[in-house]
Amino acid sequence: MGRLKTLDEWLNYQEKLHNKTIDLGLERIEKVYKKLFPNGVPFTVITIAGTNGKGSTIAFVDSIYQQSKFKVGKFTSPHITNYNERFTINGKQANDSKICTAFEKIESIRGGISLTYFEFSTLAALLIFTQNNVDVAILEVGLGGRLDSVNVVDNNISVITNIDIDHTDYLGNTRELIGAEKAGIMRKNIVCICADSNPPKSITTHANNVGAILEFVTDPYTKDIGLKGEHQQYNAATAIEVVEKLSKTLPVDSKQIANGVKSAKLNGRFQVQNINNKTVILDVAHNEAAVGVLATELAKSKQPTIAIFSVLEDKSIKLMIKKISPVIDKWLLVQLDDDRAINVNTLSEKFDLKDNISIANNINSAIFTSLNSKQYQRIVVFGSFHTVAGATKALNTVV
pLDDT tens-digit map of 42-53:
999 999 999 889
Mean pLDDT rounded to a whole number for the chain? 93
The full 3-state SS of 182-246, as one line of letters, equals HHHHCCCCCEEEECCCCCCHHHHHHHHHHCCEEEECCCCCCCCCCCCCCHHHHHHHHHHHHHHHC
Tell whether the model's pLDDT for residue 165 goes beyond 80.
no
* Domains of the chain: residue spans and CATH: 7-263 (3.40.1190.10), 271-398 (3.90.190.20)
d(C-alpha 94, C-alpha 115), whole Å: 21
Q: Is the pLDDT of residue 286 over 70?
A: yes
* pLDDT tens per residue, range 187-240: 999 999 999 888 999 999 999 999 999 999 999 999 999 998 888 999 999 999
Determine the pLDDT at residue 145: 87
Residue-wise DSSP of 266-328: -TTSSEEEEETTEEEEE----SHHHHHHHHHHHHTS---EEEEE--BTTS-HHHHHHHHGGG-
Around Cβ 37, how many Cβ atoms within 10 Å?
A: 16
Buried/exposed code over 331-346 (b: 16+ C-beta within 10 A; e: otherwise): bbbbbbeeeebbeeee
**Long-range residue pairs from 18-21, CB within 8 A, at least 24 positions apart, any chain:** 18/114, 18/115, 18/116, 18/117, 18/119, 19/114, 20/116, 21/116, 21/117, 21/339, 21/340
Task: Please report the pLDDT score of residue 169 as a whole number.
Answer: 59
What percent of the chain stands above pLDDT 90? 79
Encode pLDDT of 120-164 as tens digits. 999 999 999 999 999 999 999 988 889 999 999 999 999 999 887
Q: Other CB atoms closer than 10 Å to residue 300's CB: what's the count?
A: 9
- Given a cut of 70, whether residue 399 has pLDDT beyond it is no
Predicted TM-score (pTM) of the model is 0.90
Helices 54-67 and 254-263: crossing angle, nearest 10°? 130
Burial class (CB within 10 angstroms; exposed 0-12, middle 13-18, buried 19+) of 149: buried
